[in-house]
């Protein structure tokens, strides 16, 4: 009975184990990435990163903040597949995804530093796609970043 109660609260990662992709290189991952919501992430070859309007992942997405700043990134690989670990180390701006109608004590303060874990996958044209899950894990929402299009 206790075991069942503990595993029921295992967190959102209990639902997803990765893409199984193991052949992406750091050079292939480096570059500009964007999301339809106006998010932009620049993963530089030297391991540094620029972030603009990046939402929180998992349940943090529901808080509605969007962070901009600088940080670091690294491509890692485990049994489930490759993951880009992105860390915001210096926050330069905070925005809200939607207007906050009531500024109450229940609204959490946006973090000054934050870490994301983007799963690495390939699209139908063999190009890379980065994504993380957000919100309730039973719903399966995906925050997808695609290669930045040229201006």
Q: Are 28 and 21 in contact (CB under 8 A)?
A: no
**Structure-token match 């540094």, residue found:** 48
- Given its phi and psi angles, is residue 146 left (phi above 0), alpha (psi -120 to 50 degrees) or beta? beta
**Structure-token match 């139908």, residue found:** 124
Per-residue pLDDT tens digits for 62-87: 999 999 999 999 999 999 999 999 99
Neighbours of 4 (CB within 10 A): 7
User: Residue 138 — pLDDT band, cuts 50, 70, 90?
Assistant: confident
User: How far apart, in whole angstroms, are the C-alpha atoms of residue 138 and residue 72?
Assistant: 30
Per-residue pLDDT tens digits for 20-52: 999 999 999 999 999 999 999 999 999 999 999
Task: Please compute the mean of the pLDDT values over residues 92-118 and round it to a whole number.
Answer: 81
């Amino acid at each position: 009975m206790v075991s069942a109660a503990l595993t029921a609260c295992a967190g959102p990662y209990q639902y997803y184990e990765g893409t199984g992709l193991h052949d992406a290189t750091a050079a292939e991952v480096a570059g500009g990435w964007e999301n339809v919501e106006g998010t932009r992430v620049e993963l530089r070859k030297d391991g540094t990163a620029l972030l603009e309007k990046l939402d929180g992942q998992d349940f943090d997405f529901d808080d509605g903040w969007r962070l901009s700043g600088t940080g670091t990134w690294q491509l890692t690989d485990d049994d489930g597949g490759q993951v880009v670990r992105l860390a915001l180390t210096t926050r330069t701006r905070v925005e809200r995804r939607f207007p906050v109608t009531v500024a109450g004590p229940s609204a959490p303060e946006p973090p000054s530093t934050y870490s994301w874990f983007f799963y690495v996958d390939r699209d139908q044209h063999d190009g890379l796609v980065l994504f993380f899950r957000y919100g309730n894990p039973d719903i399966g929402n995906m925050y997808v970043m695609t290669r930045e299009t040229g201006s």
